[in-house]
């Protein structure tokens, strides 16, 4: 049960119609900036703004799930159509389980994702007149994976083997210029029936899935290779310290991480504003104190507290001002901690969060 679309702008027409017909009150997604040199996340209720909407866009300036959980939409009746990338959808799933997003009034549209570029690279390509034409069309229309030598996908996208949305209400598939909007839930189906007069078609996606499986297989291989490199390079605590050596503890990775939702986080509190007498004690004992202190503790704490919910979106790395390769640390270590509990972040609404539950008989050897 799917709608076939000949051109991306027809998807925009559907969205515009859903606003005009008051099916939804607002649309949240990536819009072109007034200067047309980059995209930013925004929410709009005006149908005319949909012209500036970019649905299949190789940029992720912020994590939409993080933004949605900040807004919460609890004190309003706004019904919002949210256009999110698959990793943002996985983060939405985690945040729904953490009770930070209440999805009742929201509908999520996601797409088979061609990945994203670092925001500054995206902006530069647009200014040079290159994006979205080349990269965007290639990655999103033809399933040709990025050429890693000449193009610059984010590391997180390079190793992403979960580029197909599984739990959004609607999924956009691309095959060349032809797009398909496929409902994955009852809510999505109702939306499509309300917004279009044409009947939904039953489509055999065998040809399509074959192509996409090839791409995913390729990504799994890249991921395995990068994991090996990571394990070799970061095999000791000294190597880990070296990896983090440039950290200035600005907390950007935490602020932009969708899994770091906690308002009472110890690193948002004054706990680490140590009184000066502590420094004199440390100097007595160690003779040398790094400033700001506790950078390693900060990252280890994040690993302990959120790695079981890490969705590998790579926003930590995108937001890091000193270029620490955080994605591979969190993605590969998160993978391991999730494995203990046979859990996978963003896989299902029903799986319990590992740290929110327990079994009486488990982990005998701890």
Partner 1 sequence: MSEFEPKIIGFLCNWCTYTGADLAGTARIQYPPNIRVIRMMCSGGVDMVYVMKALLEGADGVLIGGCHPGDCHYQSGNFKARRRVAILKKILQQLGFNEDRVWLRWISASEGKKFANTVTEMVEHLKKLGPNPLKLNGNI
Q: Which of 84, 337, 345, 346 binds partner 1 (CB under 8 A)?
A: 337
Q: Which of 22, 232, 263, 359 binds partner 1 (CB under 8 A)?
A: 359
Residue 98 binding partner 1, by CB under 8 A: no
Residue closer to partner 1 by CB (options 250, 266) is 266
- Whether residue 163 contacts residue 85, with contact meaning beta carbons closer than 8 Å, is answered with no
**For every residue of 92-156, which 3-state class applies, written as one string?**
HHHHHHCCCCCHHHEEEEEECCCCCECHHHHHHHHHCCCCCHHHHHHHHHCCCCCCCCCCCECHH
Q: Which of 89, 234, 254, 310 binds partner 1 (CB under 8 A)?
A: 234
Q: Which of 102, 220, 229, 237 binds partner 1 (CB under 8 A)?
A: 237
User: What span, in angstroms and rounded, lies between the C-alpha atoms of 181 and 17?
Assistant: 15
The alpha carbon of residue 308 and the mean position of all alpha carbons in its chain are separated, in whole angstroms, by: 15
Q: By CB under 8 A, how many residues form the interface with partner 1?
A: 42
User: What span, in angstroms and rounded, lies between the C-alpha atoms of 110 and 60?
Assistant: 13
Residue closer to partner 1 by CB (options 211, 351) is 351
Instruction: Give the interface segment with partner 1, choosing from 57-65, 127-135, 210-218, 358-366 (CB under 8 A).
Output: 358-366
Residue 72 φ then ψ, to 5°: 70, -35
Task: Kindly state the tokens that stand for 114.
Answer: 């061609």
* Residues across the chain: 366
Within 10 Å of residue 267's Cβ, how many Cβ atoms? Answer: 17
Binding to partner 1 in span 263-322, by CB under 8 A: 266, 282, 285-290, 294-297, 300-301, 303-305, 307-308
Residue 102 binding partner 1, by CB under 8 A: no
Could you tell me the smallest distance in angstroms from the CB atom of residue 239 to partner 1?
A: 7
Task: Kindly state the tokens that stand for 51.
Answer: 């012209």
Residue closer to partner 1 by CB (options 225, 290) is 290
Could you tell me the smallest distance in angstroms from the CB atom of residue 281 to partner 1?
A: 11
Residue 262 binding partner 1, by CB under 8 A: no
User: What span, in angstroms and rounded, lies between the C-alpha atoms of 77 and 21?
Assistant: 16
Residue closer to partner 1 by CB (options 178, 280) is 280
Could you tell me the smallest distance in angstroms from the CB atom of residue 139 to partner 1?
A: 32
Q: Is 64 exposed, middle or buried (0-12, 13-18, 19+ CB in 10 A)?
A: buried
- Whether residue 45 contacts residue 71, with contact meaning beta carbons closer than 8 Å, is answered with no
Q: Strand ranges (DSSP E) for the chain?
A: 3-5, 26-32, 39-44, 53-54, 80-83, 106-111, 170-175, 178-183
Q: Which of 340, 348, 349, 352 binds partner 1 (CB under 8 A)?
A: 340
Could you tell me the smallest distance in angstroms from the CB atom of residue 273 to partner 1?
A: 15
Residue 42 binding partner 1, by CB under 8 A: no
Residue 355 binding partner 1, by CB under 8 A: yes
- Give the footprint of partner 1 on this chain (CB under 8 A): 234-241, 245, 266, 282, 285-290, 294-297, 300-301, 303-305, 307-308, 332-333, 336-337, 340-341, 354-355, 358-360, 362-363, 366
């Amino acid at each position: 049960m799917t709608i076939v679309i000949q051109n991306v702008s027809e998807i925009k027409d559907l969205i515009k119609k859903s606003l005009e017909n008051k099916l939804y009150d607002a649309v949240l997604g990536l819009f072109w900036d007034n200067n047309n040199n980059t995209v930013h996340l925004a929410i709009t209720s005006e149908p005319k703004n949909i012209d500036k909407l970019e649905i299949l866009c190789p940029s992720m300036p912020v994590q939409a799930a993080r933004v949605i959980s900040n807004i919460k939409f609890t004190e309003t009746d706004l019904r919002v159509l949210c256009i999110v990338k698959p990793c943002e959808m996985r983060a939405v799933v985690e945040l729904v389980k953490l009770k930070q997003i209440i999805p009742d009034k929201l509908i999520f549209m996601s797409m088979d994702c061609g990945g994203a570029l670092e925001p500054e690279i995206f902006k530069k390509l647009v200014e040079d007149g290159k994006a979205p034409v080349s990269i965007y069309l290639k990655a999103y229309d033809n399933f040709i994976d990025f050429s890693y030598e000449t193009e610059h996908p984010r590391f997180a996208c390079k190793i992403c083997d979960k580029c197909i949305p599984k739990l959004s209400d609607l999924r956009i598939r691309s095959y060349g210029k032809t797009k398909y909007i496929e409902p994955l839930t009852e809510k999505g189906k109702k939306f499509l029936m309300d917004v279009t007069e044409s009947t939904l078609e039953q489509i055999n996606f065998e040809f399509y899935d074959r192509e996409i499986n090839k791409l995913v297989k390729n990504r799994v291989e890249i991921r395995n290779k990068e994991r090996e490199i990571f394990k070799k390079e970061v095999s000791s605590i000294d190597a880990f310290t070296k990896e983090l050596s440039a950290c200035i503890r600005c907390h950007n990775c935490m602020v932009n991480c969708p899994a770091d939702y906690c308002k009472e986080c110890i690193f948002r509190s004054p706990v680490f504003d140590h009184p000066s007498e502590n420094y004199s004690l440390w100097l007595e004992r160690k003779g040398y104190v790094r400033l700001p202190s506790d950078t390693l503790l900060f990252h280890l704490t994040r690993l302990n507290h959120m790695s079981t919910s890490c969705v590998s979106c790579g926003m930590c790395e995108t937001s890091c001002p000193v270029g620490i390769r955080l994605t591979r640390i969190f993605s590969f270590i998160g993978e391991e901690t999730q494995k203990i509990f046979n859990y996978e972040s963003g896989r299902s609404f029903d799986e319990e969060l590992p740290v929110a539950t327990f079994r009486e008989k488990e982990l005998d050897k701890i």
